[in-house]
Amino acid sequence: MREFEFHVPTKILFGSGAEEKTGAAAAAEGAGRVLVLYGGGSAVRGGLVDRVKLSLAQAGIDCAVKGGVRPNPVLEFALETVREYRDQGIGLVLAVGGGSVMDTAKAVAAGLASSAAGMEEAFRGRAPLGAALGVGAVVTMAASGSETSPTAVLSDGRTHEKLICTSPLLVPRFAILNPELTCTTPPLQTACGAADILMHTLERYCADLGGNALTDALAEGLMRTVVEYGPRCLAEPGDYAARSELMWCGSLSHCGLTGLGRDNGFPVHRLGHELAARYDIPHGMSLTILWPHWARAARRVLAPRLARLARTVFGAAEPEEDAASLACIHAVSAWFEGLGLPVSFAQAPMGREEDQVLAQFAARCTSGGTAPLGGLCPLDYGQVLAVYRAANGG
Ligand code: NZQ
Ligand code: ZN
């Protein structure tokens, strides 16, 4: 077994009505005053923000509340929030929402513990993150896994570049997971969330050909669960059991558990961030558009892995590795399409793109052609451009 480190300090409070424990969880962190962040209003419409405020009040915790985080959240909003609340005695930032709200909360927590400028430097990769307040999350959507991850992803609102900051300081201290809260997630977001959850483990699975047997077994079990319950959540949005399975998969898929002992460049995420940033499409959709085409390019190295995935997760019967690896790409693509998600530019809201824009994407993914896109099968500039062209329709 290959060496690894594993430390996920997030306290998970899972179950119906779990948001009523928010106050106690924040008090256990010695929170003092809490800044509650939410998104465009879904958490207000369902009364969730009021329930969270009540729980905090019952624990004797004062709070400030700010909404307005948008999907594909921008750095500028986080900077503005830091400036607004920097002298207000905030001790913990509480996200009530999906990945966009959680990632913004992480950035705000970093900025409040140091400065807006210091936080921006860290997100632009110019300096390490020095400090961050604690973050808590009341999760309303099964998708990003930000509730257990050390990462936050924000966009530069001017250049639309995705800025990624990873630090152990950003791992949330606690996450409230009530699957009922996810039952109102719109179908498109449910589908994109399921795809993102699958991809967090699939990218890790494709980062090695073996080595840690338990890691593989955990990964395959998680992917089988997502493949089964993602479509069930779409068919029966109020199915608590299905929502529970998908939500727990979301939290475990991106905490590192399903990739122990292997390095990962998350190549498809890197490719997809270009699309989500430019076209403002959901993150999960950016991955479904590109994964099949990336997998075809990487198959020369990954065929044994894809063949195993086809058999263990999708029940493929092809005995030959080559045929089974192709069956895998077909099965994953069909699963994405079954969720109603695109597997090409043409099927996506933005439609086909000019070749010169694809060249810009490829250049950014390869540092201007100087560094290959990482992963077990590194792709150079020309190969990355070929992936974008294939996704664009040849
Ligand atoms: O803003 P509101 O009104 O809340 O509506 C949201 C938003 O429009 C809605 N929604 C969420 N929960 C709902 C709901 N609507 C009704 N009922 C509910 N219960 O869904 C829409 C999308 O929300 P968003 O938070 O953007 O989705 P998601 O959780 O997929 O997060 C996507 C963001 O996470 C980043 C992505 O890049 C993207 O910016 N990621 C963060 C990661 C991390 N921190 O580790 C890893 C991921 O790979 C990903 O990159
Ligand atoms: Zn993702």
pLDDT at 381: 98
Kindly report the pTM of this predicted structure. Answer: 0.98
Q: Which residue's CA is minimally distant from atom 16 of ligand 1?
A: 185
181 CA distance to ligand 2 middle (Å): 20
Residues whose beta carbons lie less than 5 angstroms from ion ligand 2: 196
Q: How would you classify the pairing of strands 33-38 and 134-139?
A: unpaired
Q: Do the Cβ atoms of 140 and 181 come closer than 8 Å?
A: yes
pLDDT at 265: 85
Q: What DSSP assignment string belongs to 210-250? A: SS-HHHHHHHHHHHHHHHHHHHHHHH-TT-HHHHHHHHHHH
Other CB atoms within 10 A of residue 206 CB: 27
Q: Which residue's CA is minimally distant from atom 48 of ligand 1?
A: 144
247 CA distance to ligand 1 middle (Å): 13
Per-residue exposure over 105-140, b if at least 16 CB sit within 10 Å of its own CB, e if not? bbbbbbbbbbbbebbbbbbeeeeebeebbbbbbbbb
Judged by DSSP in three states, 276 sits in helix
Residues 6+ apart with CB under 8 A from 59: 23, 24, 26, 27
Q: Which residue's CA is minimally distant from atom 50 of ligand 1?
A: 153
Task: Indicate which ligand has the atom closest to the C-alpha of 202.
Answer: 2
Q: Which of 65, 103, 181, 268 to mutate to test the pocket of ligand 1 (most atoms within 8 A of CB)?
A: 103
pLDDT at 394: 67
145 CA distance to ligand 2 middle (Å): 8
360 CA distance to ligand 1 middle (Å): 26
Residues 6+ apart with CB under 8 A from 186: none
Residues in contact with ligand 1 (CB, 6 Å cut-off)? 39-43, 71-73, 97-101, 103, 140-141, 143-146, 149, 151-153, 181-182, 184-186, 189, 193, 196, 254, 269, 283
Other CB atoms within 10 A of residue 264 CB: 18
206 CA distance to ligand 1 middle (Å): 25
pLDDT at 321: 97
> Running along the chain, 394 residues long, what does each successive block of 10 average in pLDDT?
93 98 97 96 96 98 98 97 97 98 98 97 96 98 98 94 96 98 98 98 94 95 98 98 98 97 91 96 98 97 97 96 98 98 98 98 96 93 98 89
Q: What DSSP assignment string belongs to 26-64? A: HHHTT--EEEEEE-SSHHHHTTHHHHHHHHHHHTT--EE
What's the Rg (C-alpha) of the chain? 20
